[in-house]
Structure 1
Amino acid sequence: MLSVEGLKVRYGQIEAVKGLDFTVAQGEIVTLLGANGAGKTSTLAGIAGLAPATGMIRFENQNLIGLRPEDISRRSIALTPEGRRVFPALTVAENLLLGGAMHHKGGSLDATREEMLTLFPILRERYRQRAGLLSGGEQQMLAIARSLMSQPRLLLLDEPSLGLAPKIVDEVFRLIAGLRQKGITILLVEQNAVRALDIADRGYVLVNGRITLQGKGRELAQSDEVRAAYLAA
């Protein structure tokens, strides 16, 4: 589904991503692991058109390099950013509407919104509340639901468990695994390597903007290098 070749992302004089090659097959969960500053978020931003990228990014045989973020979104790719970034002054209902407004017409928007409220029952309870009044976990659920309102075939998830209580982290990862069962392909950036590798089909380890290790999720979980760097806890 997604094929990345020689991807570079540069911010001025700083090259954050230094020539990545990786793939994501349809129906997979693939995780990108690495320390802060390794280039994981920049990789997602490059794919989503939010950062200046060179190389080749092919999604279903269409090159994404040079496309505007809204054009990439229309090709059924959605990004749930790090830090949730919901619109705090808007209600849950309004946040969901914004997530799907560009992709739906008439009744299809209502049907997708109902699907999200069924998938995330807490959002139905908070439907008329302002997003800024939600807990961190509720905001994360809203951020993911807002992304899913566009009915993406590829979901880019950036640090979905960051700053959440352990019980909420469990809920988030159950949700991510369930999305795969619904046919959504996921590229996951996650600091919690233990949880990420537990649900991932495959993974790539990034160090200073380059891939240093790759393999199946279970294989990476057993790797001495990965265990020493990311699984010590």
Structure 2
Amino acid sequence: MTTSDEILLSIEGLTVSYGAVEAVRGIDLTVKRGEIVTLLGANGAGKSSTLNALVGLAPRKARRMLFDGTDLLALPPETIVRRGMTLVPEGRRVFSSLTVDENLMLGGAKHAARGNPAAVKTNMLELFPILAERLHQKAGSLSGGEQQMLAIARALMSSPDLLLLDEPSLGLAPQVVDRIFDLIGNLRDRGLTILLVEQNVVQSLEIADRGYVLANGRVELQGSAADLRASPEIQDAYLGA
């Protein structure tokens, strides 16, 4: 899919600190409308802290943090979601004691202004047919892959403009990972903008338009997915070349 030149998210000088520990050290990044941008790097590189900072779930400072022209720095998480940015956290975090249906409706309950929750749920069940089959099951009874699909569908219930995905393939069987990445590509083809944190470098760069490589809280490399795949640093560190 051809992406727009319109910048949906623009960050300059983002810093995230937990007490004396600086997890993110002044990074810059942009995401254009309609593209997949992936954040790559080892554990502890600052990837998840970056996503959490974007939605107001981590202590953050920045010279600038604009989403669709809105300054995010002064906004609480619930307002950021209403403005159109949603996070699917690492570990899925579905409500295990609630049904699939209840999880979905909670995802859209506070965001009716961005769409009709019932209509959006119908769309989600078409996009995730396995959830339609499991609609009245407790979320805790689902497989790991099904829970990941539910977590993504629940986030999409708010009709976001930008979806943040934190390690969606973590802990899943290889064949399920393939389905998750196919789904992410399908969402982009439907016009959704995605910022993806993933340790599966090969598959991330296959579906992404651009990427940033983080190390010790800083951006070490950035560029198109094709350029990153071809870079000696990525080949040596991640692709086994």
Both structures adopt the same fold (TM-score exceeding 0.5): yes
Partner of 1:2: 9
The equivalent of 1:207 in structure 2 is 215
Structure 2 residue aligned with 1:83: 91
Which aligned pairs between 1:70-219 and structure 2 lie closer than 5 A? 70-104=78-112, 108-219=116-227
Distance in 2, matches of 1:108 and 1:7, equals 34
Query: In the alignment, what sits opposite 2:42?
Result: 35
For 2:224, give the aligned amino acid. K
- Stretches of structure 1 that go unaligned for 5 or more consecutive residues are none
DSSP 3-state at the match of 1:227: helix
Query: What residue in structure 1 maps to residue 31 of structure 2?
Result: 24
Deviations 1:44-99 (A, max 9, x none): 00001100110021001111013100010010000000000001001000100110
* Whole-angstrom CA distance in 2 between matches of 1:96 and 1:194: 31
In 2, Cα distance between equivalents of 1:94 and 1:75 = 23
Match of 1:52 among 59, 63, 69: 59
TM-score (norm 2): 0.94
Amino acid at match of 1:159: E
Post-superposition CA distance 1:123-157 (Å, at most 9, x none): 00000000000000000000000000000000000
How far apart, in 1, do the equivalents of 2:212 and 2:77 lie? Answer: 25
1:9 and 1:64 map into 2 onto residues whose CA distance is 14
How far apart, CA to CA, are the structure 2 residues paired with 1:102 and 1:232? 46
- C-alpha distance in structure 2 between counterparts of 1:27 and 1:171, whole Å: 21
CA RMSD of aligned residues (A): 1.1
Aligned-pair distance for 1:108? 1.4
Whole-angstrom distance in 1 between the partners of 2:171 and 2:65: 31
Residue 237 of structure 2 is matched in structure 1 by 229
2:78 counterpart letter in structure 1: E
- Show structure 2 runs of 5+ residues with no match: 1-7
3-state SS in 2 of match to 1:57: strand
Q: CA deviation at 1:229?
A: 1.0
| Structure 1 segments of 4+ aligned residues over 4 angstroms from their partners | none
Q: What is the rounded CA distance, in whole Å, between the counterparts of 2:240 and 2:154 in structure 1?
A: 34
Identity across matched positions, percent:
63
In structure 2, what is the Cα distance between the partners aligned to 1:72 and 1:129? 30
In 2, Cα distance between equivalents of 1:181 and 1:154: 14
Q: Distance in 2 between matches of 1:95 and 1:180?
A: 23
- Matched to 1:176, the amino acid is I
